[in-house]
Amino acid sequence: MAGLVECSGTAIRFKARGGGWTEALAATDLRLAPGSFTALIGPSGCGKSTLLNAIAGFVPLAGGGVAVDGAQVTGPSPEVGVVFQQYALFPWFTARGNVEFALRRLGLPRAERQARAEASLAEVGLHGRGGAWPGQLSGGMKQRVALARTLAAQPKVLLMDEPFGALDAQTRATMHELLLGVWERRRTTVLFVTHDVDEALTLADRIHVMASGPGRIIETIELGDRAARQGLDYLANRNRIIGLLRHARPHGDET
């Protein structure tokens, strides 16, 4: 299973209020190696989600291109799965039903859809909870269903846009553990957008720090072996990222 992502001069503009255009993402080069876990971090409005949406095929490009395993991205694809902060579960479907519904676009037989749904729910720690309704689930469980729904399609690339931002600290830590376990088993290429420095340092192999005005990558930090990220190295990287973020906002932006 591959999952090579290549952004070459990828640029995005949006129409501004009152006419004209706003450069949301300057021409950006980015390479996600197959099986890698990469984080994007930066201030609000710096283009993190915009770059993620470009890789997902959700927004048109103003320049450059995006390719997955050499094929140009021209729109959404089952090979690229996306998990957002909002769970977006259908309340009239059970947990299993939500996962199965997402698989319908693949044209799979019903038995295979059911089997994949059960296997994905079990993988995220929801074995035996497939019959539960979204209203009966906690926030962490809902996000597990959302993750299972995406994993069931067996994507080569997993894009995650602040998926744990609405969770409390303890639940978030549990989800970090769960996600790393899934990634280590599957080795799906992951791009993870976050505002949280410690979250990025906990999860990723590599962190790209972004700045705004326009959105662009200003530094890349290689983290190396996860087991060795403690003590002085962790603090040095953390302080480095915080320093970069402090100067990553446009002049006068204190939000």
Question: Domain with 45 in it: what CATH number?
Answer: 3.40.50.300
Q: Are 7 and 28 in contact (CB under 8 A)?
A: yes
For the chain, what is the domain count? 1
- 23 in any annotated domain: no
- 80 in any annotated domain: yes
- 168 in any annotated domain: yes
- 183 in any annotated domain: yes
Q: How far is Cα 162 from Cα 50, in angstroms, rounded to an integer?
A: 13
- 45 in any annotated domain: yes
CB atoms within 10 A of CB 63: 14
pLDDT at residue 228, as a whole number: 61
Domain span at residue 144 reads 37-53+75-246
- 47 in any annotated domain: yes
What are residue 23's DSSP bridge partners?
13
- 27 in any annotated domain: no
Q: What is the largest CA-CA distance in the chain?
A: 57
In the chain the beta strands, taken as DSSP E runs, fall at: 5-15, 21-32, 37-41, 63-68, 71-72, 80-84, 157-161, 189-194, 206-211, 216-222
Q: Are 213 and 10 in contact (CB under 8 A)?
A: no
Q: Are 147 and 123 in contact (CB under 8 A)?
A: no
Asked if residue 20 has pLDDT above 90, the reply is no
Asked if residue 254 has pLDDT above 80, the reply is no
**pTM as predicted:** 0.92
* Mean pLDDT of the region 106-121: 93
